[in-house]
Amino acid sequence: MPFDSDFTLKPSRLVSGDTLGIIAPSSPFDKQKFRDGLVVIEEMGFSVFFPENIFEQKGYLAGSDAHRADIINSMFADPEIKGIICARGGYGALRILPLMDFNIIASNPKILIGCSDITVLLNTLYSKCKLVSLHGPMVQSLANASDQTKQSLQDMLLKDEPLSLRCKKSVVIHPGQASGIMAGGNLTTLCHLMGTPFEPDFSGQILLLEDIGEAPYRIDRMLMQMKLAGCFDRICGIIIGTFKGCGEPDLIYQIFADIFSKDNFPILAGFDVGHDEPNLTIPFGINASLDTAGGMLTFNESPFFN
């Protein structure tokens, strides 16, 4: 079914008892942590479903590209599946983009939850279908997640309340206020989308950026590449999540300050979003407002249509 590219596509809000489908678009995962994570999801009040062949492996991938894409397409097409959460990140989501059926996805909008390598899917589903998604923890990480991480995900999925995040340890890099569509995710993964047919357009968006295990000079290089490519020309603002294992936070913040020294959009660092704990769940694809003075990121609409 054709879809209106100017219309934001919001999935239905989940209710207790709904079934979450599990997909593995990227790397293989630890089976015990996977099953422990399923227990956490069930304790939140959801049923879970995953195909038995989700455990397939092909080197550093969770099965062939066609296998991983088929699972995603079938989960969106299945009316019994009310939402979808990824088993883990790693690498591999980039490879399946040409195999995804965006017409099926747009005709069956469902919430997709993930982070890290799943950044590829979150941003592509918005650029291709205008589908709202959730940047949040995945099944494997839920096995050892903090109570705050788990509560944030559960509240996002089940509570119909205005959402705002206060940055408790905020570092203001550029002061100011801005409103725009929330997007972004893992810096490395976003950088690898550039120059592909799936390159996102960040115009009018507030970008979350986070990463793990990248040397400071690599963060500098990726930000510079994207800046020179014009990726940041029309963005509204940046929020900086965790950069775990990337060096001292002050050094990372200085890199952002240097690269964006001549830009006038607000930049606020210190959000608990990314590869560290806690990893708070935030929606992509809906309007948000950033206020560096109050250290606040406020979402101005629900990620669900009811």
**Statement: residue 2 has pLDDT above 60:** no
pLDDT, residue 6, reads 56
CATH code 3.90.1170.50 for 19-158:
no
Structure tokens at 288: 């948000």
User: Residues 136-151: pLDDT tens digits?
Assistant: 999 999 999 999 999 9
What is the value of pTM for the model shown? 0.95
User: Residues 169-216: pLDDT tens digits?
Assistant: 899 999 999 999 999 999 999 999 999 999 999 999 999 999 999 999
Catalytic residue among 116, 127, 141, 170: 116
Query: Which amino acid appears at position 302 of this protein?
Result: S
Burial class (CB in 10 A: 0-12, 13-18, 19+), 162: exposed
Q: What is the DSSP secondary-structure string of 138-174?
A: -HHHHTT--HHHHHHHHHHHH-----EEE-TT-EEEE
164 is catalytic: no
Give the count of beta carbons closer than 10 Å to the beta carbon of residue 289: 17
User: Residues 4-48: pLDDT tens digits?
Assistant: 345 899 999 999 999 999 999 999 999 999 999 999 999 999 999
Q: How far is CA 292 from the centre of its chain?
A: 22
Across 246-256, average pLDDT: 97
Confidence band, pLDDT 50/70/90 cuts, at residue 167: confident
Domain ranges of the chain: 19-158, 164-299
3-state secondary structure of 267: strand
Catalytic residue among 26, 152, 210, 214: 210
301 is catalytic: no
Q: Are 176 and 266 in contact (CB under 8 A)?
A: yes
Instruction: List the one residue out of 289, 285, 292, 94 whose CA is nearest residue 202.
Output: 285
Fold of the 164-299 domain:
Glucose Oxidase; domain 1 (3.50.30)
Structure tokens at 279: 């990893």
pLDDT, residue 169, reads 86
User: Residues 65-117: pLDDT tens digits?
Assistant: 999 999 999 999 999 999 999 999 999 999 999 999 999 999 999 999 999 99
CA 22/CA 269 separation, integer angstroms: 32
210 is catalytic: yes
User: Residues 222-245: pLDDT tens digits?
Assistant: 999 999 999 999 999 999 999 999
CA 294/CA 128 separation, integer angstroms: 34
What is the phi-psi region of residue 176: left when phi exceeds 0, alpha when psi lies from -120 to 50, beta otherwise? left
CA 76/CA 125 separation, integer angstroms: 12
Instruction: List the one residue out of 263, 165, 256, 167 whose CA is nearest residue 216.
Output: 256
CA 301/CA 171 separation, integer angstroms: 26
CA 226/CA 224 separation, integer angstroms: 5
